[in-house]
A and B are shown apart, each in its own frame.
Chain A
Amino acid sequence: MRETPDLRDVPIFKHLDEDERAEFEELSEPMTFEAGQRIFEEDAPEGRLYVLTSGTVEVFKKVLPGRRQRLATIEAPTVIGEMGLLTEPRAAASVEAMTRVEAHGLERDRLLEMLDADSPAACKLVYEIGRTLAERMATTNETVAEVISRLENTAARESEDIDVCRDQLVQNWSF
């Protein structure tokens, strides 16, 4: 029997009705990732959005040569790859399973077709994604304002200040 995800537990699917959730459940492909396995590779194509129903993943990026900068640790239930749906299908960061991860993949192209056809389920999903991005933008705005403040206060830019500034940019990543 094919395993179907319980999308009710995933925040961005919470406001969909049973039929709409069933539509996504029907479309999704169950997948399992073992600890250490890459789900997204930075700069590689991001053709799917994944609904994670169990497990933990780490998001990281090659910011400086030879160093892996951890941006976030995310626990299921959640969705990853939503930025690729709305912008270019290219991963801005790598995502790696830290534990065994149960996920359900939704093809980006299929979702875009649904949006083109004004599918209520897809429209609602994007509305919910938009709401999370609006909050993420609010956080990013505050970080950017703080960085601008620092840059403007640091007339004589001592290297110490630059270190503080750099650390802040890294820590407040809006992933």
Chain B
Amino acid sequence: MEETLQGVRFFEFLTEEEREEFAEASEPVSFGPGENIIEEGAEQESLFVLVSGTVEVRKGLSGGRGRLLAEIDASHGRTVVGERGLLGESGASATVRTVGEVEAIRIPRETFRRMVQEGRPAAFKLSYRIARTLARRLTRLDAEVVEAIRELENKGETDMEAFRDRLITDWSV
């Protein structure tokens, strides 16, 4: 298991010792095509680091339609889903579904919170990292909202599609 974590970019911010702590706290999981890793509205119990494969992030919008928010490919870019649930209490805000076969590493919320209670630096480092990601996304969304309000007020040639696309990038499930 240690070897698996060593190769995963997401864990690079931890020292070797801390990676070992997470290796003990986490478990490898495999999903077949079309499986829900995280389900919208359900209790969000784990963070998943995607090791291989592709997932879709979908959100039910009013009127019962589901909308594709993002497609995440483990081979490049962002590889973590469910990070908000590790810190927060609210249910998942979107569904994360596998497209094909997906290999991931699961960090259960319960284990993570026990590590926090034990005062383990590895857990605090991860929460610091998640907090910074959330803060950056909130700041960016607020800036988009200000921009949209200004444009709506001008009732000008607002490119609403572009605005909508900017809102849905980088969703924190």
Contacts and interface: CB of A to CB of B under 8 A. Distances in A.
Interface of A: 61, 63-64, 83, 86-88, 92, 115, 118, 120, 123-124, 126-127, 129-131, 133-138, 140-142, 144-149, 151-153, 157, 159, 162-163, 165-166, 169-170, 173-174
Contacts of A87: 132, 135-136, 139
15 contacts: A61-B146, A64-B149, A126-B127, A131-B87, A134-B86, A137-B88, A137-B138, A138-B90, A144-B167, A149-B61, A152-B164, A166-B148, A169-B145, A169-B149, A174-B142
Contacts of B127: 123, 126-127, 130
Interface string B136-155: 11110111011011101101
B150 A64 contact: yes
Given A92-B142, A169-B149, 11 more contacts: A64-B153, A92-B143, A123-B121, A126-B128, A127-B127, A134-B88, A134-B134, A141-B94, A145-B61, A148-B167, A149-B61
Contacts of A92: 139, 142-143
A129 B131 contact: yes
A65 to B, nearest CB: 9
Interface of B: 59, 61-63, 67, 84-90, 93-94, 116, 119, 121, 124-125, 127-128, 130-132, 134-139, 141-143, 145-146, 148-150, 152-153, 155, 158, 160, 163-164, 167-168, 171-172
State the main secondary structure of chain A at its contact with B. Answer: helix
Nearest to B172: A137
Contacts of B61: 145, 148-149, 152
Given A141-B171, A144-B167, A145-B59, A135 B131 contact: no
Contacts of B124: 118, 120, 123-124, 126-127
B161 to A, nearest CB: 8
A54 to B, nearest CB: 27
Contacts of A83: 135, 138-139
